[in-house]
Chains A and B, each alone.
Chain A
């Protein structure tokens, strides 16, 4: 038990770095709006004149043939403007186009509205628009759908077995795609090994569960153009997808993004958004969707995975070979299946020096809610697998897991893989800080199994650790941003990187203020709007600080040069002799306000520059899409587990991420903290449960997110800041590293306490008793 004096309430009372910069001390620029309720999210946006409301009819079956749909009564229901279902497509091709993938040729497999079959519970079958929401909902009840239920399959391994129900008959199999990664010679690797081990770990499907529901929008199709207000992470990409779907030019679609109430990968266009757009076109009025919680739960999910590893080790603990087989469950449609499978394959080796490697992944359809991308896509599942494997193998070799990791982990400068940067972090520092964060020397109990037999009803203490490595700032092509300076010296930043809770707007204002050396209060950051054509792949894959941050930096650098040229023209000297210092233009002994210089352009004169960032071009035959750096973290945990009941008490947790440089310390730290809190949910509670043909816990009460009381009171999080990243001012992408280490750290600590290992997430008291052989 912890001494009470050590207990603290709330997160992170112990922090690594004290607030140092002026920018760190300022609250986020969006904070005031959010705390006072001024911030507008999609549901706060006022209705447009004549806005109609949509209501969705979802499939109650996970797998069924649609025999007939009769919406006659619904169409006649009071207030109804139109019904959309497979019988009312008005010539619209229902097939959704998948965005091109860097590594796979994918076939489109999903219709925006169910045509012959439904393949998951919650698939969109019809959408009604009416004068108000209640009328729309009443009409829904009058739609008669006759289904012929088919057997569902919810497990990816079962879905691959002969005789399993097939979701997409035309494919003849539930196997969607295969992917692989290899180097060295795997057979040779195992020949060199003194011992070979096999380990397997599973993780369940999950829901992202942002606080703002998934699926809201306001769509206005007018005069052949679409105006869409959408909570999304990637407005530019979405705009072109909608244009493609509607058969209109990309510049006829304008996507605007209000504040987004969290996403974690779930805020992407969903079938009901397409349906709303089609209906707006049909009725010539704006259509608004306000999704219910149950609909939100049925629009996106995280991939379940099976991780099986065979691993070869020399007697001294040196790794020689790793052979991993992955099964990735993407649900009813491709959605994020290709990326999830690929990310899993290229990251399942962890962060270790492995001379001979083979990883294979199979992505499989099941009758679950389709799985898109989730914070650390494909990495949560593989980190759970590889980090438990490392701990287990070390212990079976009689080597302390900390020493085993130190021996095998990649060090700064080590070659990693073709097409990637060499290792650019210091794991030894990360590990040391992580174990010190919980007051541990890192040494494990190497013979815990002796204890569990005699433990009785006692609380047993255990400690464990885990590392993670993810490709930072991955893919996405070029990111563009625009900086404008007006005659008052105010700088406006435009971009298409939504503020989804993570602090993008604040980040851009800091980067602009620092680059230009003007006060932060002179910087305005606009919300995304595709009408200013500034491409960006979207706020995901840890790319925003790195890619959009660099684009803003670049735009401001250019703006500064323009300003210097103008100043030199007007006041004399050479542009390179000018400086901007604390918002004033300085040359020799003189200084001027920015306004004084810009004024010469005339009344409405402004300076405007577009900046960009390009990722490293992808190398031929490399499995790694252009990436700028590596994003690692380390975590350690101290817990107690009751040998009689399997109850867990988390005493202390610590996590250290490599941020390169935190540009706004509180926001960066909030990413580390928030990621770990999500990680506790994955580790201990969260899974979408499918039984008896149905999703059993698709609502906020039955689906158990962690609550404050589940977070250890001693929670230490910190960042390495060596200012060595390729992002602005030495920063790196780091927002997805802390989420992945919680589960394996807990799994390893439970072993440390009891000498038994839980191999499937979430780690529950029931499973602990099961592995203890106590049921």
Chain B
């Protein structure tokens, strides 16, 4: 089996100690929560930190509760807890389902939602052992110079692969970040950057404390559809998160569609709000939004299933997601 390289393991007792250690150790250090992304990548030489700062056991990162601002989810909560939580299952089935669709039960018991929103971007040329990457001459995401998928590209095009982040973005969730300088709140969607290497705008010395889903999201219908080859285990090669609010007259008050695995960051489909809000939702309108979703999806030949298939499915899944929220489901 592949072995972990040597590293220094730091176990802070409080969030304060954690942020201090992170600031002190700088670029040589990395945060680890459940470690389900970090440890396998260290074995394959994709991550090479000298120090790991563990977030396990930090009380400040725990808890899922209703507050006057909305639903608070501590970054250190496991995906199992998130997917089984009563309030989440009731109000945000999309989030429960997204969390439940991550890999396998064992990994969901270890993996956290904080780790999930910052999970590394993926690419078939990068998610390989050191031996394999060395044989192809490495790529710019780690140890190399060029992109092996698109040799002409000046940036890495590895794909955003978190299941929960598109759902959280579509629900309008905010991230609470803590560093030695203090705490800041930012829309989760703004924490992503469409760059396979530098995919997050989070400062290097910041720790995600938790996520807040705002009150107004509570009554909205939401759904998450995930494309993958197998029934479990696999990362999303397309994810569609949709949120919608429809009033008694069948008119759409709010609509949001966010895609994952079609670029290096979760992608918002603007047409969902511009075309649907204020109108009665029809199959024709949904088809237009679905076309728009496919248009902004740029899958490449660097993940499972053919890229043209993933692009086509962006349309089908967007349509299915919106139809199910609008109660227009016909394909079953």
A213/B1 contact (C-beta < 8 A), A698-B132, A701-B127 known: yes
Chain A min CB distance to B6 (Å) = 8
State how many residues of chain B have any CB contact under 8 Å with chain A.
30
Chain A contacts with B in 127-167, Cβ cutoff 8 A = 133-134, 137
Chain A min CB distance to B104 (Å) = 8
The contact of B1 among A134, A290, A708, by CB within 8 Å, is A290
The contact of B134 among A60, A698, A701, A769, by CB within 8 Å, is A60
A707/B3 contact (C-beta < 8 A), A701-B127, A766-B306 known: no
Chain A min CB distance to B97 (Å) = 14
Chain B min CB distance to A6 (Å) = 16
A685/B136 contact (C-beta < 8 A), A293-B2, A696-B124, A766-B309 known: no
Complex CA–CA separation, A121 to B129 (angstroms): 14
Which residues of A have CB within 8 Å of B229?
685, 704, 764
Which residues of A have CB within 8 Å of B332?
1, 459
The contact of B232 among A121, A134, A709, A769, by CB within 8 Å, is A709
Chain A contacts with B in 60-78, Cβ cutoff 8 A = 60-61
Complex CA–CA separation, A696 to B104 (angstroms): 23
Contact with B along A680-710 (1 / 0, CB 8 A): 0000010000001010101101101011111
Complex CA–CA separation, A769 to B330 (angstroms): 21
Which residues of B have CB within 8 Å of A708?
231-232
Complex CA–CA separation, A523 to B154 (angstroms): 69
A137/B135 contact (C-beta < 8 A), A699-B129, A710-B231 known: no
Which residues of A have CB within 8 Å of B124?
696, 702
Which residues of B have CB within 8 Å of A614?
none
A702/B127 contact (C-beta < 8 A), A457-B331, A707-B232, A709-B231 known: yes
Q: Does A541 contact B (CB under 8 A)?
A: no
Q: Does A35 contact B (CB under 8 A)?
A: no
Q: Is chain B's binding surface mostly helix, strand, loop or mixed? A: loop
CB-based contact B308/A775 at 8 Å: yes
Q: Does B233 contact A (CB under 8 A)?
A: yes
CB-based contact B231/A707 at 8 Å: yes
Complex CA–CA separation, A290 to B234 (angstroms): 27
The contact of A60 among B2, B135, B230, by CB within 8 Å, is B135
Complex CA–CA separation, A698 to B135 (angstroms): 13
Which residues of A have CB within 8 Å of B230?
685, 704, 706-707, 709-710
CB-based contact B131/A293 at 8 Å: no
Nearest CB to that of A697 among chain B residues? B124
Complex CA–CA separation, A642 to B309 (angstroms): 14
The contact of A694 among B135, B233, B306, B313, by CB within 8 Å, is B135
Q: Does A625 contact B (CB under 8 A)?
A: no
The contact of B316 among A58, A644, A766, by CB within 8 Å, is A644
Nearest CB to that of B231 among chain A residues? A709
Q: Does B305 contact A (CB under 8 A)?
A: yes
Q: Does A421 contact B (CB under 8 A)?
A: no
Contact with B along A448-466 (1 / 0, CB 8 A): 0000000001110000000
Q: Does A645 contact B (CB under 8 A)?
A: yes
Chain A min CB distance to B273 (Å) = 25
Complex CA–CA separation, A61 to B134 (angstroms): 11
Contact with A along B293-321 (1 / 0, CB 8 A): 00000000000111011001100100000
A61/B132 contact (C-beta < 8 A), A293-B2, A710-B230 known: no
CB-based contact B234/A704 at 8 Å: yes
Chain B min CB distance to A436 (Å) = 27
Q: Does A292 contact B (CB under 8 A)?
A: yes
Contact with B along A634-655 (1 / 0, CB 8 A): 0000000010110000000000
CB-based contact B136/A694 at 8 Å: yes
Nearest CB to that of A709 among chain B residues? B231
Chain A contacts with B in 232-287, Cβ cutoff 8 A = none
CB-based contact B3/A293 at 8 Å: no
Complex CA–CA separation, A698 to B133 (angstroms): 12
CB-based contact A60/B234 at 8 Å: no
A137/B131 contact (C-beta < 8 A), A696-B124, A707-B231 known: no
Q: Does B274 contact A (CB under 8 A)?
A: no
A137/B1 contact (C-beta < 8 A), A696-B124, A766-B305 known: no
CB-based contact A292/B2 at 8 Å: yes
CB-based contact B309/A769 at 8 Å: yes
CB-based contact B232/A645 at 8 Å: no
Which of A694, A701, A764 has the most chain B CB atoms closer than 10 A to its own CB? A701
Which residues of A have CB within 8 Å of B3?
133-134, 137
Chain A min CB distance to B172 (Å) = 30
Which residues of A have CB within 8 Å of B232?
707-709
Chain A contacts with B in 696-740, Cβ cutoff 8 A = 696, 698-699, 701-702, 704, 706-710
Chain B min CB distance to A690 (Å) = 13
Which residues of A have CB within 8 Å of B309?
765-766, 769
Chain A contacts with B in 100-136, Cβ cutoff 8 A = 121, 133-134
Complex CA–CA separation, A459 to B232 (angstroms): 22
The contact of A458 among B129, B131, B233, B331, by CB within 8 Å, is B331
Q: Does A596 contact B (CB under 8 A)?
A: no
Which residues of A have CB within 8 Å of B128?
699, 702
Which residues of A have CB within 8 Å of B131?
58, 60, 294
Nearest CB to that of A122 among chain B residues? B131
Chain B contacts with A in 1-47, Cβ cutoff 8 A = 1-3
Which residues of A have CB within 8 Å of B234?
704
Complex CA–CA separation, A459 to B331 (angstroms): 7
Complex CA–CA separation, A642 to B331 (angstroms): 9
Which residues of A have CB within 8 Å of B104?
707
Chain A contacts with B in 598-614, Cβ cutoff 8 A = none
Which residues of B have CB within 8 Å of A294?
2, 129, 131-132
Complex CA–CA separation, A710 to B234 (angstroms): 12
Chain B contacts with A in 199-250, Cβ cutoff 8 A = 229-234
Complex CA–CA separation, A408 to B146 (angstroms): 60
Complex CA–CA separation, A137 to B1 (angstroms): 12
Which residues of A have CB within 8 Å of B136?
692, 694
Chain B min CB distance to A388 (Å) = 22
A694/B132 contact (C-beta < 8 A), A457-B331, A645-B313, A701-B127 known: yes
Nearest CB to that of A298 among chain B residues? B131
Complex CA–CA separation, A134 to B124 (angstroms): 27
Nearest CB to that of A59 among chain B residues? B135
Which of B2, B135, B332 has the most chain A CB atoms closer than 10 A to its own CB? B135
Chain A min CB distance to B33 (Å) = 20
The contact of B233 among A60, A134, A707, A775, by CB within 8 Å, is A707
Complex CA–CA separation, A694 to B136 (angstroms): 8
Which residues of B have CB within 8 Å of A121?
135
Which residues of B have CB within 8 Å of A766?
305-306, 309
Complex CA–CA separation, A704 to B305 (angstroms): 12
Complex CA–CA separation, A147 to B332 (angstroms): 56
Chain A min CB distance to B204 (Å) = 28
Which of A290, A459, A707 has the most chain B CB atoms closer than 10 A to its own CB? A707
Complex CA–CA separation, A698 to B305 (angstroms): 17
Chain A min CB distance to B148 (Å) = 9
Nearest CB to that of B135 among chain A residues? A60
Chain A min CB distance to B3 (Å) = 7
Chain B contacts with A in 228-283, Cβ cutoff 8 A = 229-234
Complex CA–CA separation, A644 to B230 (angstroms): 19
Complex CA–CA separation, A645 to B132 (angstroms): 33
Which residues of B have CB within 8 Å of A60?
131, 134-135
Complex CA–CA separation, A645 to B128 (angstroms): 29
5 more contacts with CB within 8 A, not counting A457-B330, A692-B136, A707-B104, are: A60-B134, A645-B316, A709-B230, A709-B232, A764-B305
A-B contact pairs, 14 of them (CB 8 A): A121-B135, A137-B3, A457-B316, A457-B330, A457-B331, A644-B331, A645-B312, A645-B316, A704-B229, A709-B230, A709-B232, A764-B229, A766-B305, A775-B308
Interface residues of B (CB under 8 A from A): 1-3, 104, 124, 127-129, 131-132, 134-136, 229-234, 304-306, 308-309, 312-313, 316, 330-332
Closest 7 CB pairs of A and B: A709-B231, A60-B135, A766-B306, A710-B231, A709-B232, A457-B331, A766-B309
